[in-house]
A and B are shown apart, each in its own frame.
Chain A
């Protein structure tokens, strides 16, 4: 009962993160709603979550692996190498894109109820995680098909999953806040995601990038994430380029800081701008 709230212009919430934790129920419910609604009134339901990445994987394997004849990592089948890259990429890109549109898409909630606004993009990222989990099953099937046994490195996969999430959420939060104010962002995101698909080592191995460009290439935070995933899944057949990897982590951390800062700065005015 002694819980006191003070509302003032420009006042930052003192217990922001505690408040956010307090609303974890809402996070769960919003994420669950989006998952539950997604495949209602479809015939094959959640299978769609499997079909999309599967077809992309087939296309990439044919174009990069067969037509362009790019090398795989060691002796790994090209399909598995592509899928090990697709997995974090899809997670990253859908977390980024869905989070960016999430606040604008929940205008009715934002203008009628209070809750820490960060719940909304986080729930969108949560939905992306569910898709990621479904895709992971696809990877397991693929590994059984090729009779591919991963090494001990796979134990580190959860850490890289978190890294992929943070890499998506950082710029995602920033774009979310910007999108509320300037709707131009909505049109930029699909373009960014499409470009990123080719600028990141999804369809090919990052080892084909010339050595002197590697560091510059690693400015793309997804490069570190994908390399990490390949290292885990392909069991050391793919090597992590350490300076680049650290740089990727640094960039991710920077975007996360920027995203949270910008989001918190703007979230109090969302209801007025939306």
Chain B
């Protein structure tokens, strides 16, 4: 028996979507509108007679959400699926989990498939937490016995023991998501299909779920197909990746290759050029560029980074000072530098100046970053020019692996570190004496966590 558990051959999926025709937009009179409605009615009636689907709008377009996709997955593999919005990732998962039928092609699945396309599918707000565990479990394909067996584990995992018999509608959104995750994390299918669900919920808990899922995948040889926009999750969790682009499979294989193929299709433009209309003779920034290590504004962590600023000054400035800030995704500055040195003056004579700032070993955290540029006289003087949030670029850290990968909201910067760990072993009787105290401490911390995330 081969160990291929998912085999997809020439899979295609077509959707029909309706548009308003250009003519319709120009129909403005009542007579036009009546005529149009009459035509619509006739068309819908004809659709009904032919048993066809009713499509809103008067022009129908075919949309291939998936086109000729073929790949195979072996048992125990964790496969990441990446691609931009509308690339067909979710459609692929829907076909694999038998929710929707392909238009063409064929899929062979060996084993029990569970799909997790949404957290808490079928949760009913009127039912209690306990009841919802059973409901959701059954919807996800668990038997009552299986749920009963894992019930305590699920509740402990979700940390909602106290609210087990409260209607879910009274839950905070954090509690709700935790309970839903907990049920899902205890599924034990042969093949698990997971959509972007891990994007919601509090971060600590997500990590816990990923950990649980990875344990299951590793220890029991289960296969996981995972869609995520978080490349760092894919990078550390998956051992293979598929890249989809407008319905077609463009890369299939190593995670690093797929991620860099994905990033190189990016549209980030880390170059700013002053618009023609804004050009004045007073000193201004005419061009700004972030030189990243990879194309399309992608920068690999640890590689040297260069910022190049071109300043035009037909009218000279007596004293010019250039200040640069690197902003993170929240637009908060994480790094600042300036150029104002007695021996390195610029802008004193009419013309242009090129300023280059080099960071040999930048420690920016992963994620989207921007540049803020000030051109002014030294503090207190005239402000010549100011650019907000220009030159977007993306820092990634895929060349070294940490346990869960990095996320933009982890921190602002990375530093070098080393740890010293001293282990002290003690006898089991000592252990028993110690444990309750420690657990109580952990418990209080978690309770405060709950309050924080609940609102």
Interface residues of A (CB under 8 A from B): 1-10, 25-26, 28-30, 33, 36-37, 40-41, 108-115, 181-182, 268-269, 271-273
A111 lies within 8 A of B110 (CB) = no
Q: A7 with B102: in contact, given A109-B121, A272-B15 (CB under 8 Å)?
A: yes
A6–B111 Cα distance when bound, in Å, is: 11
How many residues belonging to B are interface residues under a CB distance threshold of 8 Å?
43
Q: A8-B105, A33-B135, A109-B139 are in contact. List 6 more A-B contacts (CB 8 A).
A: A2-B1, A7-B98, A8-B102, A26-B138, A112-B115, A272-B101
B122 lies within 8 A of A108 (CB) = yes
Nearest-CB residue, chain A, relative to B140: A113
A36 lies within 8 A of B131 (CB) = yes
CB < 8 Å: which of A4, A6, A115 contacts B106? A6
A4 lies within 8 A of B117 (CB) = no
Shortest distance in angstroms between B122's beta carbon and chain A's nearest beta carbon?
A: 5
A29 lies within 8 A of B135 (CB) = yes
Shortest distance in angstroms between B317's beta carbon and chain A's nearest beta carbon?
A: 61
Shortest distance in angstroms between B131's beta carbon and chain A's nearest beta carbon?
A: 7
Nearest-CB residue, chain B, relative to A267: B101
Q: Which 4 A-B pairs have the closest CB atoms?
A: A29-B138, A7-B107, A114-B98, A268-B101
Check B229 for interface membership: any CB of A closer than 8 A: no
A109 lies within 8 A of B122 (CB) = yes
B121 lies within 8 A of A3 (CB) = no
CB < 8 Å: which of A7, A28, A37, A112 contacts B121? A112
B111 lies within 8 A of A114 (CB) = no
A114 lies within 8 A of B138 (CB) = no
CB-defined contacts of A25 to chain B, threshold 8 Å: 138, 143-144
Nearest-CB residue, chain A, relative to B94: A271
Q: A114 with B97: in contact, given A1-B111, A2-B110 (CB under 8 Å)?
A: yes
B109 lies within 8 A of A4 (CB) = yes
A269 lies within 8 A of B101 (CB) = yes
Per-residue contact bits, chain B 129-146, to A (CB 8 Å; 1 contact, 0 not): 001001100111101100
Looking at A1, A113, A181, A269, the one whose CB has the most chain B CB atoms below 10 A away is A113
Nearest-CB residue, chain B, relative to A13: B98
CB-defined contacts of A7 to chain B, threshold 8 Å: 95-96, 98, 101-102, 106-109
CB-defined contacts of A40 to chain B, threshold 8 Å: 126
Nearest-CB residue, chain B, relative to A273: B53
A269–B13 Cα distance when bound, in Å, is: 12
Check B127 for interface membership: any CB of A closer than 8 A: yes
CB-defined contacts of A2 to chain B, threshold 8 Å: 1, 110
Looking at A9, A28, A30, the one whose CB has the most chain B CB atoms below 10 A away is A9
A273–B127 Cα distance when bound, in Å, is: 29
A9 lies within 8 A of B110 (CB) = no
CB-defined contacts of B166 to chain A, threshold 8 Å: none
A223–B332 Cα distance when bound, in Å, is: 75
Check B118 for interface membership: any CB of A closer than 8 A: yes
Check B149 for interface membership: any CB of A closer than 8 A: no
Shortest distance in angstroms between A163's beta carbon and chain B's nearest beta carbon?
A: 29
Q: A1 with B110: in contact, given A7-B98, A25-B144, A109-B139 (CB under 8 Å)?
A: yes
Shortest distance in angstroms between B364's beta carbon and chain A's nearest beta carbon?
A: 38
Q: Enumerate 18 A-B pairs (CB-CB under 8 Å) in ascending A order.
A: A1-B190, A5-B110, A5-B113, A7-B96, A10-B101, A28-B138, A29-B138, A33-B124, A33-B127, A36-B131, A40-B126, A112-B115, A113-B117, A114-B97, A114-B115, A181-B54, A271-B100, A272-B101
